[in-house]
């Protein structure tokens, strides 16, 4: 394997993480990690002609981030394409091993997959000590866009001891009713910490829909956006950050509400399971 | 028959409004919402009903009435059954400017999106008006052709911006281009009110003139209508109504185009009588459309423009087939 072309930021990170960074011949415009990516030429992920012109031995794609028509076209034109479908942390470890296999770095892929699995298992075990809370993973505040079941964000909530209140059957990232923020069952909102989201959050808490956010009845846990936004090898860091944020939040709740103050019968899950629309 | 239809319209409008307040969201069950409307209820549910559902209802009423009234006025003014704020490029101009603001501005400045939409609607109105002026003054045909051209240009601009927009902003852009009342607030309603009340007054004042214009410009002029003045005032009033609607709700199709036809089939073609009924029908249709948009798959929200079209077109087809 001499020429590797990743078509999304997360598989770019994956290629570098298994030790194939020196084989990567180009990256997509959104790829910005690791810093070595900066030296690479850029290629649009939907430009089949430009992709083939780079003569890759293998193209790394993702089912969520790449146009399936482009992937199909590349395959029809003889390119070898490996498409990853990371919708859970379990699949993340598998993706590391798969990347190692297809890039001829099986041992490195196995090592990375095991490391990812261990970090995820450790963070999940830590979260078991925390009380379950109903939550949403907010992707955007205005309009309110949340992560639904079937996404790696949903899996992250679950592993951190949170029950996702987002509807189960309306796409991966549905736009939902702003009133959901006032649902008394909602206790935690998780959001990636980036400037745009912080600014739109500031507008939301100033509106009637943000009353429970402003009062502190719903806690917002911000986690590093660069770790949480991509289902790549750094994703376990987002889960660890979320569990750490939850631990700090629960300690604060205990200080305010007194020891032994778990969730009330009304708010503790699984009394209220995720919604089905 | 027409009195019964009037009564039915009022009943449907009131029923839609109460339903929107009682069943309008996932956080407060109907019983608790009813308690609030009866003067009781907890502070939390009062916030939901009065802070979220009431402004959303008021915005839906204003937007629906504005679009339908603008459509009815433009169809009479231009003697063209296809005329509406969308065809004339007014909605498109507003949507293009709002989209540009949504894509370019930082999140902290997104509060100015409605103002950008108003400016865009005003700019496209001015452009259409300017393009429609030939050597012999403006004509209905030229105005519609100018609207179609401006509409095509704004659609192209929106599609370009959609292709270039950063992905987190796409839902907001879609809300602008496909209509949404989700971010309604009391402040928005207060801001929109003059853009509804004043143009409505102007259009109702010119109801008789519009009726005469619908029969032809020459005959209207012969009957004492100052065609140029009426055309300017009505076009500006319709543009203000449409610009206000698109500023706070994005592009909601169908309401402006089909509501006047629907009303004509029920109440006849008298423009003066048609205008207020079109406004109330458009308001009811938009309230019902918005209710369905955010309750059918609750808590997932659908674009309200899609729902108003799905709701109204079959009804319109049935009425059209049964009309003599």
Q: Choose, out of B30, B47, B299, the residue to mutate when testing the contact with A (most A CBs < 10 Å).
A: B299
User: What percent of chain B is helix, strand and coil (3-state, nearest 5)?
Assistant: 80, 0, 20
Give yes or no for a contact between A79 and A56, defined as CB atoms under 8 angstroms apart.
yes
Q: State the pLDDT at residue B11.
A: 97
**pLDDT surpassing 90 at residue A244:** yes
Record: contact B51-A180, CB cut-off 8 A: no
Q: State the pLDDT at residue B108.
A: 75
Q: CB contact, 8 Å: B6 with chain A?
A: no
Q: State the pLDDT at residue A169.
A: 67
Q: Which range among A118-132, A166-180, A247-261, B38-52 shows the weakest confidence by mean pLDDT?
A: A247-261
Q: State the pLDDT at residue A158.
A: 97
Q: CB contact, 8 Å: B47 with chain A?
A: yes
How many CB pairs below 8 A link A and B?
Answer: 106
Q: Which residues in chain B touch residue A212, judged by CB atoms under 8 angstroms apart?
A: 44
Nearest to B52 among A167, A179, A196 (CB): A179
* Rounded average pLDDT over A162-186: 89
- Of A268, A249, A259, A127, nearest to A184 by C-alpha is A268
Nearest to B294 among A177, A197, A212 (CB): A177
Record: contact B27-A180, CB cut-off 8 A: yes
Question: Distance of CA A196 to CAs B104, B181, B217, Å?
Answer: 12, 22, 53
Q: Which residues pair with A5 in a beta bridge?
A: A59
Record: contact B180-A179, CB cut-off 8 A: no
> Tell me, what DSSP letter sits at residue A21?
G
Which residues 6+ apart lie within 8 Å of A254 measured at CB?
A: A261
For strands A81-84 and A58-62, give the pairing: parallel
Percentage of chain B lying above the pLDDT 70 cut = 98
Nearest to B48 among A142, A179, A198 (CB): A179
Q: Whole-angstrom Cα distance, residue A216 to residue B312?
A: 43
Q: CB contact, 8 Å: B52 with chain A?
A: yes
Task: Please list the alpha-helical segments (H only) found in A103-151.
Answer: 106-127
Record: contact A178-B182, CB cut-off 8 A: yes
Give yes or no for a contact between B132 and B142, defined as CB atoms under 8 angstroms apart.
yes
Q: Which of residues 105-164 of A touch B (CB under 8 A)?
A: 139-140, 142-145
- Of B305, B265, B233, B274, nearest to B64 by C-alpha is B305
Residues B131-162 have pLDDT tens digits of 988 777 777 888 889 999 999 999 999 999 88
Q: Which residues in chain B touch residue A179, judged by CB atoms under 8 angstroms apart?
A: 24-28, 48, 52-53, 299
Q: CB contact, 8 Å: B187 with chain A?
A: no
Task: Please list the alpha-helical segments (H only) found in B206-270.
Answer: 207-213, 217-222, 227-249, 255-267
- Of B47, B12, B80, nearest to A178 by C-alpha is B47
Nearest to B298 among A171, A196, A277 (CB): A277
Can you give the pTM of this predicted structure? Answer: 0.84
> Tell me, what DSSP letter sits at residue A30?
T
Record: contact A183-B47, CB cut-off 8 A: no
Give yes or no for a contact between B74 and B238, defined as CB atoms under 8 angstroms apart.
yes
Q: CB contact, 8 Å: B297 with chain A?
A: yes
> Tell me, what DSSP letter sits at residue A207?
S
Classify burial at B208, counting beta carbons within 10 Å of its beta carbon; exposed 0-12, middle 13-18, buried 19 or more.
Answer: middle
Nearest to A182 among B27, B107, B301 (CB): B27
Q: Whole-angstrom Cα distance, residue B74 to residue B88?
A: 9
In 10 A of CB B115, how many CB atoms? Answer: 14
Task: Please list the alpha-helical segments (H only) found in A32-179.
Answer: 48-53, 68-76, 89-102, 106-127, 152-159
Record: contact B301-A177, CB cut-off 8 A: yes
Record: contact A184-B299, CB cut-off 8 A: no
Q: CB contact, 8 Å: A67 with chain B?
A: no
**pLDDT surpassing 80 at residue A273:** no
Record: contact B182-A177, CB cut-off 8 A: yes
In 10 A of CB B319, how many CB atoms? Answer: 15
Q: State the pLDDT at residue A258.
A: 66
Q: Whole-angstrom Cα distance, residue B224 to residue B211?
A: 13
What angle is formed at CA A11 by the lines to CA A6 and CA A13, rounded to 5 degrees?
105
Give yes or no for a contact between A200 and A140, defined as CB atoms under 8 angstroms apart.
yes
Confidence of residue A256 (pLDDT cuts 50, 70, 90): confident
**pLDDT surpassing 50 at residue A264:** no
The distance from CA B33 to its chain's CA centroid, rounded to whole angstroms, is: 28
Residues B78-101 have pLDDT tens digits of 888 888 888 889 999 999 999 998
Confidence of residue A262 (pLDDT cuts 50, 70, 90): low
Q: How many residues are recorded in chain A?
A: 277
The distance from CA B219 to its chain's CA centroid, rounded to whole angstroms, is: 30
**pLDDT surpassing 70 at residue A272:** no
For residue A170, give the chain B residue with the closest CA: B300
Record: contact A277-B180, CB cut-off 8 A: no
**pLDDT surpassing 90 at residue A35:** yes
Q: Which residues in chain A touch residue B171, judged by CB atoms under 8 angstroms apart?
A: 140, 143, 145, 175
In 10 A of CB A172, how many CB atoms? Answer: 16
Q: CB contact, 8 Å: B175 with chain A?
A: yes
Phi, psi (5° rounding) for residue B10?
Answer: -65, -40
Q: Which residues in chain B touch residue A275, judged by CB atoms under 8 angstroms apart?
A: 26, 299
Confidence of residue B312 (pLDDT cuts 50, 70, 90): confident
Nearest to B47 among A170, A175, A182 (CB): A182
Q: Which residues in chain A touch residue B47, judged by CB atoms under 8 angstroms apart?
A: 182, 208, 211
Positive/negative CA dihedral, B236, B240, B245, B251: positive
- Of A179, A193, A177, A187, nearest to A145 by C-alpha is A177
Interface pTM, i.e. ipTM: 0.77
Gap from A65 CA to chain B (nearest CA, Å): 11
Question: Distance of CA A151 to CAs A146, A169, B120, Å?
Answer: 10, 12, 38
Give yes or no for a contact between A106 and A253, defined as CB atoms under 8 angstroms apart.
no
Q: State the pLDDT at residue A261.
A: 53
Structure tokens at A169: 């059957």
**pLDDT surpassing 90 at residue B27:** no
Residue A183 Ramachandran class (φ > 0 left, ψ -120 to 50 alpha, else beta): beta
- A154 prior amide bond cis, ω within 30: no
Give yes or no for a contact between A150 and A202, defined as CB atoms under 8 angstroms apart.
no
Q: CB contact, 8 Å: B43 with chain A?
A: no
Which residues 6+ apart lie within 8 Å of A108 measured at CB?
A: A18, A19, A100
Confidence of residue B323 (pLDDT cuts 50, 70, 90): low
Gap from A148 CA to chain B (nearest CA, Å): 10
Classify burial at B323, counting beta carbons within 10 Å of its beta carbon; exposed 0-12, middle 13-18, buried 19 or more.
Answer: exposed
Structure tokens at A157: 């909530």
Q: Which residues in chain B touch residue A166, judged by CB atoms under 8 angstroms apart?
A: 299
């Amino acid at each position: 394997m001499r020429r590797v072309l990743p078509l999304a930021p997360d598989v770019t990170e994956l290629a570098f993480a298994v030790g194939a960074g020196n084989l990567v011949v180009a990256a997509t415009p959104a790829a910005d990690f690791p810093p070595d990516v900066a030296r690479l030429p850029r290629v649009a992920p939907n430009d089949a002609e430009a992709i083939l012109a780079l003569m890759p031995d293998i193209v790394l794609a993702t089912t969520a981030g790449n146009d399936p028509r482009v992937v199909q076209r590349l395959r029809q034109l003889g390119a070898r394409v490996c498409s990853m479908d990371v919708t859970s942390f379990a699949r993340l470890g598998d993706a590391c091993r798969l990347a190692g296999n297809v890039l001829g770095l099986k041992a490195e892929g196995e090592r990375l997959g095991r490391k990812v699995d261990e970090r995820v298992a450790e963070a999940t075990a830590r979260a078991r000590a925390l009380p379950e809370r109903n939550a949403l993973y907010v992707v955007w505040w205005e309009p309110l866009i949340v992560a639904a079941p079937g996404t790696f964000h949903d899996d992250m909530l679950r592993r951190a001891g949170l029950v996702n209140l987002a509807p189960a059957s309306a796409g991966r990232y549905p736009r939902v009713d702003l009133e959901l923020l006032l649902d008394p069952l909602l206790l935690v909102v998780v959001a990636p910490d980036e400037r745009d989201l912080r600014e739109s959050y500031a507008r939301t808490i100033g509106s009637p829909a943000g009353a429970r956010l402003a009062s502190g009845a719903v806690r917002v846990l911000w986690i590093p956006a660069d770790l949480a936004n991509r289902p790549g090898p750094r994703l376990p860091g987002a889960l660890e950050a979320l569990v750490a944020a939850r631990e700090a939040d629960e300690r604060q709740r205990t200080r305010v509400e007194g020891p032994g103050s778990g969730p009330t019968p009304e708010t503790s899950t699984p009394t209220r399971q995720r919604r089905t629309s | 028959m027409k009195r019964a239809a009037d009564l039915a319209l009022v009943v449907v409008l009131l029923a839609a409004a109460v339903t929107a307040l009682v069943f309008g969201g996932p956080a407060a069950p109907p019983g608790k919402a009813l308690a609030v409307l009866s003067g009781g209820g907890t502070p939390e549910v009062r916030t939901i009903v009065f802070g979220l559902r009431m402004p959303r209802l008021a915005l839906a009423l204003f937007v629906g009435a504005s679009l339908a009234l603008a459509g009815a006025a433009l169809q009479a003014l231009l003697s063209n059954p296809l005329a509406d704020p969308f065809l004339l490029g007014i909605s498109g101009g507003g949507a293009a400017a709002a989209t540009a603001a949504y894509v370019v501005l930082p999140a902290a400045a997104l509060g100015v999106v409605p103002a950008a939409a108003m400016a865009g609607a005003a700019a496209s109105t001015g452009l259409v008006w300017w393009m429609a002026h030939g050597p012999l003054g403006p004509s209905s045909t030229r105005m519609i052709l100018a609207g179609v051209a401006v509409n095509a240009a704004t659609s192209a601009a929106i599609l370009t911006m959609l292709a270039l927009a950063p992905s987190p902003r796409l839902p907001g852009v879609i809300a602008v281009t496909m209509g949404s009342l989700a971010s309604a607030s009391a402040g928005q309603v207060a801001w929109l009110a003059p853009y509804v009340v004043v143009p409505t007054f102007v259009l109702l004042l010119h109801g008789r003139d519009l009726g005469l214009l619908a029969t032809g410009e020459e005959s209207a002029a012969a009957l004492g209508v100052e065609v140029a003045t009426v055309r300017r005032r009505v076009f500006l009033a319709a543009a203000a109504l449409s610009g206000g609607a698109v500023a706070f709700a994005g592009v909601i199709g169908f309401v402006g185009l089909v509501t006047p036809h629907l009303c004509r089939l029920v109440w006849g073609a008298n423009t003066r009588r048609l205008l207020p009924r079109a406004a109330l029908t458009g308001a009811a249709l938009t309230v019902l459309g918005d209710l369905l948009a955010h309750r059918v798959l609750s808590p997932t929200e659908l674009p309200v423009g899609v729902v108003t079209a799905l709701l109204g077109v079959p009804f319109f087809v049935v009425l059209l087939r049964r009309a003599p």
